[in-house]
Amino acid sequence: MTGPADAVRVAVVGATGYAGAELARLLARHPKVDLTVVTSEQSAGKALGDVLPSFRRKLDLRLEAFDPARVAARCDVAFTALPSGKSGGGIAMLLDHGVRVVDIGADFRFRDPSEHARVYGPHPVPALLGEAVYGLTEHARAALRGARLVANPGCYPTAALLAIVPLAEAGLVESGGIIIDAKSGVTGAGRTVAAEYLFAEVDDNLRAYKIGEHRHAPEIEQQLRPFLGAEVAVTFVPHLLPIRRGILSTVYVRPRAGVDFGAFAKAFESRYGSERFVVLTGVRPPEIRDVVGTNDCAIGWALDAKSRIAVVVSVIDNLGKGAAGQAIQNLNAMMGWPEPWGLDHLAVVP
Amino acid sequence: MTGPADAVRVAVVGATGYAGAELARLLARHPKVDLTVVTSEQSAGKALGDVLPSFRRKLDLRLEAFDPARVAARCDVAFTALPSGKSGGGIAMLLDHGVRVVDIGADFRFRDPSEHARVYGPHPVPALLGEAVYGLTEHARAALRGARLVANPGCYPTAALLAIVPLAEAGLVESGGIIIDAKSGVTGAGRTVAAEYLFAEVDDNLRAYKIGEHRHAPEIEQQLRPFLGAEVAVTFVPHLLPIRRGILSTVYVRPRAGVDFGAFAKAFESRYGSERFVVLTGVRPPEIRDVVGTNDCAIGWALDAKSRIAVVVSVIDNLGKGAAGQAIQNLNAMMGWPEPWGLDHLAVVP
Amino acid sequence: MTGPADAVRVAVVGATGYAGAELARLLARHPKVDLTVVTSEQSAGKALGDVLPSFRRKLDLRLEAFDPARVAARCDVAFTALPSGKSGGGIAMLLDHGVRVVDIGADFRFRDPSEHARVYGPHPVPALLGEAVYGLTEHARAALRGARLVANPGCYPTAALLAIVPLAEAGLVESGGIIIDAKSGVTGAGRTVAAEYLFAEVDDNLRAYKIGEHRHAPEIEQQLRPFLGAEVAVTFVPHLLPIRRGILSTVYVRPRAGVDFGAFAKAFESRYGSERFVVLTGVRPPEIRDVVGTNDCAIGWALDAKSRIAVVVSVIDNLGKGAAGQAIQNLNAMMGWPEPWGLDHLAVVP
Amino acid sequence: MTGPADAVRVAVVGATGYAGAELARLLARHPKVDLTVVTSEQSAGKALGDVLPSFRRKLDLRLEAFDPARVAARCDVAFTALPSGKSGGGIAMLLDHGVRVVDIGADFRFRDPSEHARVYGPHPVPALLGEAVYGLTEHARAALRGARLVANPGCYPTAALLAIVPLAEAGLVESGGIIIDAKSGVTGAGRTVAAEYLFAEVDDNLRAYKIGEHRHAPEIEQQLRPFLGAEVAVTFVPHLLPIRRGILSTVYVRPRAGVDFGAFAKAFESRYGSERFVVLTGVRPPEIRDVVGTNDCAIGWALDAKSRIAVVVSVIDNLGKGAAGQAIQNLNAMMGWPEPWGLDHLAVVP
């Protein structure tokens, strides 16, 4: 794999997890990227295509153990896709060596070290939390341009925030009573080898989990606070779907008194009308499959007239816009490149 | 198929639809039922096992066209499982001939003819609406005992009402802001041959549909009105899951001021503690697969402490407790038989 | 759980694996069985319904560690469902204590210790191999009646042998060129927590595995040798399906010279025409779903006229007729009970 | 959608079927194609993105009814993706207008009109059958270069022939006893709205169909005759998998006397070693998912030593290499373009 002469050299740290492999898949076809390093602790030394056969004859790279100095010698940018709590130290070293970092993990999403500590435990390099840019691309461009360190949003927060932020910004919704009923495919849990993710346990089944306890709820609240105030408290209930990829988020919000429902469409259109990766579907709710394999977020909305509760439905691919896709979109924004580079896919339907 | 000498003779009208076939499957093993008639307009004249191979060598019956008089001559009770709007006239004739009826369809669920008209169109025999017993068994036993005509609840209403009614009865929840985010397998739509239900359209996908427009919302409201008042308005959003059977209903309710959350557990336990077909799972939310193929409803609940919104999760098999199972439970209640007769199954897991 | 006064007391050793749990599900409703002991090394001390929620309120038993003497004190018959190589010693002790045993595992399927050793490694109690009855029920009744130890056939061998044995017995097929292209749901691998069985790896996928190397091929050959001679060599290729339960076996055989194809139907009908658990579907090939959750094997056949190769398609539930169902059928045969006791189910379709 | 100045203008006739939509998806990103016409009889007049939402904001085209003259006025090449028997006349007119045609349908696959008539019925323009090039690209390049009319192979034949032809060419296998046990996802049947393709009928199920009667068997035999002689007769058994896309073909062949199995690897490597769209996996059998969404065919092989039967496993995406992908590969070959243009995808895994 060799890119053009002016290509940016890129590493994927943790390339055999689901999000890491998706990064490699996308970066292998990015017009200005030279993917030079892929790491895996478990499979170091093996050819990527021997571990993940879909890369065979497509991407000729050998997996190596993660060594920040060795990565820095050969890369300008690193994507880190490690389990939460595992990337802090390595990222600090990469930054020290002058490598810019987009972290797919959860280690730099909270601005406030005490909030991070409460949700994930003490942070190894709390000083960096203030610098990290929360990379919800459509809402973070100015900060992304010069960023050294980008915290890629969680998959659930991406789907929820893209649906709520335009309404909150425009002052259309109450800060109370926001309910996010989210449904995710199993790759949201990564390549976790646990009985609960076996085919025989997931197929033809559905379950809610971590009701009121999921770590993505405070992440969502942090991002809504600038618009809805300190007291914002979302009710977040995730469900595990028998599908591989995709999140559908059904968000229930209360329009503020006097708000006309037409204002919802206006808010979405003015915010996202010229966005390449947001598809507005109006009253026809979007389906998960139309975004799988892409970096798109599709959003539809309706008002339940009798109860005066507004329903916003958003869908993303949790490994696309919810992880690897948005990470590359953030790279493009950091570099000042056109955002669709490497991301201009149509969903494989059906 | 011949039952014991004192068996009740039963017909299934519309036996080749999904709910009708489930009725036949269950009735074929009911200890006091002699299933004598199965009807199908499309397949009249064929052996049931030639149309539905899982019955081959298990239930030796020939399908026939529906003729109320011929049914009445050979049956004491009829289960009608016809598309909405198709069963009114036939049921009236069955009743005239002295046949007791449990209607799986939607034709007798509304008490008020004008509400029926608004949701489904004018009713052919509105006079019968007042007589029909709404057969949410656990909440309708007294009325069921002598009933001539039972309206089996819709699948979504069954899952939602079993979760909400105990809380509403006990005065624990506000009448406003009730949100029902429901997810159903495809058999909820019956054996509808339409492109949207093809495997290639449903697999690995999820979509919301009929937001704020589904006919089951007013059915739910009708049943909650006695407890929550005329102004009750639920926000009901159904979703189509890539599974065959099962509904998971995530219900969001607001506890009334001063209500301690412990009261929720008490309400469920006092109402359902000795019910054979309600399984309380407490804070561990129930999963769809544990009730598939059974007549069970499993219910769990949690409080989102920060937002003070209570989350109740209920699961049923839409063809079991949501249709055929509850219909047979209603038959048992009508006859004064033990309710588990013919329904005492363990789910086939995994 | 208490059965009738004359009930046989039964243990399931290894009750939390998929086959063990299926045994418990079926035995819990068997009219002459009192299921008294369920064991699990990992979950000893827990209530069965806390580990496997589908048993909650249905079967009130506590899991215990396997102790042959303690099992013998409370049981007449034990079903052992342990990984291969794990049950030999325990079974010997159970037999010594006078407990009759049906082994769902693979430890007693070979008659010849050297063949067992070649396939599975040295046998701990080779002397017992000669005594064990290979429990392909329809073809083993005489031997089953008095048996102390029954080796339940493997899932793939059950599907294949039920299709081939009647043809081999009747002298209709050549001993060479028998090809078994088998497709199995994931529960065939048991509750194995390995990456290859994760939902994300199995869903919407298919793969062949262990071509020419699967341990079930010599098991099949052992059972065909009496009819086809020592030189019989089957080509066996298993495939992993994205379904939970079920095996479909497509068997290709060469009719002997001069054999009329009508003889195939005659052979199947004369052998299985009055069998309760074999459904002959003629030229309409059977589907997996029609036997899931049951003890049935459905068999269809066709002749490819031009190539003169006969195709026999058989389907079973790998946890039913391929494991727990057949084990209970064998219990019934051992006891002289009617074979359908506890097994008289209709498949849950769809 | 506008391509570069020297782009070839292309039509997709039948763009809303599954294969047609896949053509549109791929052509929309082809570097030298200007997709100018998409037709649909049912949806003429609608925007493509309103009928197929995954195209929304990606491909701004309006569907139109198929009119050969109007297509010819705006296109250099047409892909026809119509049901069998529907494309003959239209294709003749397109050719008369100077449009080159790649037919995804089945109308031009047989060279011999009488064979076509026997399998599909009389051909409307039999004179064209002799001209059509059977576009199994890797085995047809010389003929493709100047072709006016290309018959794209069937999906099952593509998977089977890519596995068998190299062995037949090299004289390694007997002409008798070739068995093709094929398993296909449901999109192989197109967007056929029939009960048998409903989610509830296909999910968690498997069935064989058209044993010895499928139209793809004579198509395979036609292509093998040059190597194996007139008497070649394959036994072809297709199965319907519960997946959306993909075919796995398990092919059983008998090595000729004296053939060393090492010759199999050599034959595959010498034939396909430098092919971009054939991936040889050796003894590790390929999986369907590694080719879904791509134009790849992956092939593995093994010898069952005892029975001396060789097993070749090939996988393709039935809508990719089995339809739209190979059609575009054929376009590239016709134009003398690099074959990977527009097809250089990595599979979306998992």
In a domain, D141, yes or no: no
Strand order in the sheet with C77-80: C63-64, C33-39, C8-13, C77-80, C100-103, C149-151, C133-134
Phi, then psi, of D303 in degrees rounded to 5: -110, 130
**What 3-state class would DSSP assign to C272?**
helix
User: Of D194, D200, D244, which is closest to B186 when you measure between CB atoms?
Assistant: D200
CA distance B243 to chain D (A): 8
In a domain, D342, yes or no: no
Please choose, from the candidates B310, B317, B311, the residue with its C-alpha nearest in 3D space to the C-alpha of residue B343: B317
In a domain, B38, yes or no: yes
In a domain, D151, yes or no: no
Q: How many domains does chain D have?
A: 2
Element (H, E) at C314: strand C309-316
Cβ(A328)–Cβ(A27) under 8 Å?
yes
Q: How far apart are CA B269 and CA B264, in angstroms?
A: 9
Angle at C160 between CA C155 and CA C161, to 5 degrees: 100
Q: Both C267 and C300 in a single domain?
A: yes
Relative to beta strand B63-64, strand B33-39 is parallel
Chain B residues with CB inside 8 Å of C20's CB?
Answer: none
Low-confidence ranges of chain C (pLDDT < 70): 1-3
Cβ(D19)–Cβ(D25) under 8 Å?
no
Active site positions of C, annotated: 155
Residue B2: per-residue pLDDT = 59
Burial of C42 (0-12, 13-18, 19+ CB in 10 A): exposed
Q: How far apart are CA B220 and CA A307, in angstroms?
A: 14
What letters, b where the CB count within 10 A reaches 16 and e where it falls short, cover D311-344?
Answer: bbbbbbbbbbbbbbbbbbbbbbbbbebebebbbb
Phi, then psi, of B200 in degrees rounded to 5: -65, -20
Cβ(B271)–Cβ(B264) under 8 Å?
no
Q: Both C170 and C309 in a single domain?
A: yes
- DSSP annotation of B47: B
Q: Is A297 among the catalytic positions?
A: no
Phi, then psi, of B327 in degrees rounded to 5: -60, -40
Chain D residues with CB inside 8 Å of C306's CB?
Answer: 212, 233
User: Is the reported ipTM for this assembly greater than 0.85?
Assistant: yes
Q: Both A125 and A240 in a single domain?
A: no
Q: Both A168 and A57 in a single domain?
A: no
Cβ(D175)–Cβ(D231) under 8 Å?
yes
CB atoms within 10 A of CB A100: 20
Q: Both B49 and B122 in a single domain?
A: yes
Please spell the DSSP secondary structure of A117-171, one letter per residue. Answer: HHHH---S-GGGTTT-EE--GGG-HHHHHT-SEEEPPPHHHHHHHHHHHHHHHTT
Cβ(C291)–Cβ(C343) under 8 Å?
no
Cβ(C34)–Cβ(C9) under 8 Å?
yes
Chain-chain contact of A244 with C204 (C-beta, under 8 angstroms): yes
Q: What are the pLDDT digits (tens) for D18-73?
A: 999 999 999 999 999 999 999 999 999 999 999 999 999 999 999 999 999 999 99
In a domain, C328, yes or no: no
Chain C residues with CB inside 8 Å of A191's CB?
Answer: 195, 198, 200
Q: Both B80 and B199 in a single domain?
A: no
CB atoms within 10 A of CB C253: 25
Q: How far apart are CA B239 and CA B237, in angstroms?
A: 7
Q: Both D301 and D198 in a single domain?
A: yes
Query: Whole-prediction pTM value?
Result: 0.97
Q: How far apart are CA D7 and CA D31, in angstroms?
A: 8
Phi-psi bin for D84: left (phi > 0), alpha (psi -120 to 50), beta?
A: beta
Chain B residues with CB inside 8 Å of A209's CB?
Answer: 285
Residue A161: per-residue pLDDT = 98
Q: How far apart are CA D40 and CA B136, in angstroms?
A: 48
Given A48, A133, A155, A253, the catalytic residue: A155
Single-letter residue type at D35: L
| Two structure tokens written together for D318 | 């039935």
Q: Both A14 and A92 in a single domain?
A: yes
Q: How far apart are CA D329 and CA B136, in angstroms?
A: 60
Q: How far apart are CA C200 and CA C161, in angstroms?
A: 33
Q: CATH number of the domain that D167 lies in? A: 3.30.360.10
pLDDT higher at D261 or A63: A63
Q: pLDDT at residue D2 above 90?
A: no
Angle at C236 between CA C233 and CA C241, to 5 degrees: 170
Please, what are the averages of pLDDT over each run of 10 residues along chain B (350 residues)?
81 98 98 98 97 96 97 98 86 97 96 96 94 98 96 98 98 96 97 96 98 95 97 97 98 96 96 98 96 98 92 98 98 98 97
In a domain, C325, yes or no: no
CA distance C182 to chain A (A): 19
Q: pLDDT at residue A83 above 90?
A: no
Contacts of residue D244, Cβ cutoff 8 Å, sequence gap at least 6: A350, B199, B200, B203, B204, C204, D185, D186, D187
User: Of B54, B279, B298, which is closest to C347 when you measure between CB atoms?
Assistant: B54
Q: How far apart are CA A324 and CA A158, in angstroms?
A: 12
**Based on C-alpha coordinates, what's the Rg of chain C?**
20
Q: Both A115 and A168 in a single domain?
A: no
Domain range spanning residue B23? 8-131
Q: CATH number of the domain that A27 lies in? A: 3.40.50.720
Cβ(B325)–Cβ(B29) under 8 Å?
no
Q: How far apart are CA A49 and CA A40, in angstroms?
A: 13
3-class SS string, chain D: CCCCCCCEEEEEECCCCHHHHHHHHHHCCCCCEEEEEEECCCCCCCEHHHHCHHHCCCCCCEEECCCHHHHHHHCCEEEECCCCCCCHHHHHHHHHCCCEEEECCCCCCCCCHHHHHHHHCCCCCHHHCCCCEECCHHHCHHHHHCCCEEECCCHHHHHHHHHHHHHHHCCCECCCCCEEEEEECHHHHCCCCCHHHEHHHHCCCCEECCCCCCCHHHHHHHHHHHHHCCCCCCEEEEEECCCCCCEEEEEEECECCCCCCHHHHHHHHHHHCCCCCEEEEECCCCEHHHCCCCCCEEEEEEEECCCCEEEEEEEECCCHHHHHHHHHHHHHHHHCCCCCCCCCCCCCCC
Q: How far apart are CA C165 and CA A189, in angstroms?
A: 47
**What 3-state class would DSSP assign to A302?**
strand
Chain B residues with CB inside 8 Å of C21's CB?
Answer: 349
Angle at A37 between CA A35 and CA A39, to 5 degrees: 130
Q: Count residue pairs from B and C with Cβ separation < 8 A.
A: 71
| Two structure tokens written together for B84 | 């909405």
- Note the maximum CA span of chain A: 63
Q: Both A62 and A193 in a single domain?
A: no
Q: How far apart are CA C310 and CA D213, in angstroms?
A: 13
Chain-chain contact of A346 with D55 (C-beta, under 8 angstroms): yes
User: Of B193, B195, B242, which is closest to D191 when you measure between CB atoms?
Assistant: B195
User: Of D183, D237, D307, which is closest to C206 when you measure between CB atoms?
Assistant: D183
Q: What are the pLDDT digits (tens) for D117-126?
A: 999 999 999 9
Please choose, from the candidates B81, B80, B82, B75, the residue with its C-alpha nearest in 3D space to the C-alpha of residue B99: B75
pLDDT higher at B305 or D296: D296
- DSSP annotation of C285: -
Please choose, from the candidates A165, A109, A100, A171, the residue with its C-alpha nearest in 3D space to the C-alpha of residue A138: A165
Contacts of residue D179, Cβ cutoff 8 Å, sequence gap at least 6: C179, C252, C309, D234, D235, D237, D251, D252
Q: What are the pLDDT digits (tens) for A153-178?
A: 999 999 999 999 999 999 999 999 99
CA distances from C65 to A167, B256, C37, C45, D105 (A): 57, 48, 10, 8, 62
Task: Map tokens 């989210």 to a residue.
Answer: A182
The count of C-alpha atoms lying within 13 angstroms of the C-alpha of A256, restricted to the half-sphere facing its C-beta, is 13
Relative to beta strand B309-316, strand B247-253 is antiparallel
Q: How confident is the model at residue D202 (pLDDT cuts 50, 70, 90)?
A: very high
Give the residue on B whose Cα is nearest the Cα of A311.
Answer: B211
The count of C-alpha atoms lying within 13 angstroms of the C-alpha of B216, restricted to the half-sphere facing its C-beta, is 25
Please choose, from the candidates A298, A295, A299, the residue with its C-alpha nearest in 3D space to the C-alpha of residue A327: A295
Cβ(A334)–Cβ(A145) under 8 Å?
yes
Q: pLDDT at residue A87 above 90?
A: no
Task: Map tokens 């701004």 to a residue.
Answer: D60
Q: Both B194 and B251 in a single domain?
A: yes
* Mean pLDDT, range A194-221, rounded to an integer: 97
Task: Map tokens 């309708």 to a residue.
Answer: B140
Q: Both D108 and D201 in a single domain?
A: no
Q: How far apart are CA C283 and CA C302, in angstroms?
A: 6
Cβ(D285)–Cβ(C211) under 8 Å?
yes
Chain-chain contact of A346 with D59 (C-beta, under 8 angstroms): yes
In a domain, C137, yes or no: no
In a domain, A339, yes or no: no
Residue A2: per-residue pLDDT = 58
